Structure 1
Amino acid sequence: MKDCYLACPSNSVKCTFSHPQNSYRNPSEGESRIDYILYKFNKKNSVSVKEHRYALPSRVPGQNFSYSDHESIEAVFEITDNKDNFDKDIKINDNLLRKIELQKLKNDSLQICNENLE
């Protein structure tokens, strides 16, 4: 698993708990990051994090309080198809399986021949 916070080059998120603009903030508590967006991908796709940012304004519109005691976050991903690389891996695996099957056939054939020669 990868963390969007670490993967995004243009990360605007500094902390999600005890944020300086949060109405529920207790100044005696230190700022910390308690909200995460983790992601995972496979060989078939390439994933990059384009944006990692706060999802909501610091105050509820028309009110003098925040949505929560911690800030929500969101991420924007770019997912591209690595079909060519994936197909290449499949071909390599298919070739390897064929070689293994051929070797097994050779071994079985040799065993039958040796048994019949005795």
Structure 2
Amino acid sequence: MNAVKFDLNAYLWDESNLHPNFAALFKRRRANGSYWKDAWAGKLPIRQVNPITCADGLTMSVQASETHYCSPRSNLGPYTEVEVGFPSQLVEELMEYAESPDTPTDTVYANVPVAVVKAVIEKHGGLKA
């Protein structure tokens, strides 16, 4: 098990975890000065991070923004609930949040408490190094 305590909110805000398309967008917005102007106005753009990969191979998308099933439903966080999607295998701890429980690896899990996501990651050996 990974001895380092996992901080999901920090993971979601770490730019090294951004999907490449979104990383390029953020870089352009910072270069032209609009990023910080929008940040102070509470209008940060939607972020999409790469899927989380656990040490044992489990992958799952974990997202949070004004367009995702999360709380708060904003682009600012910090988040107490997040959207999980398309895990690579059945994850029992997520099933009560499934939109389509009949297809557990092809569905979205709405408003999953951050503590549940952290527990799933820890159960699967922490983040892949």
More strand by percentage: 1
Question: So what's the TM-score if we normalise by structure 1?
Answer: 0.23
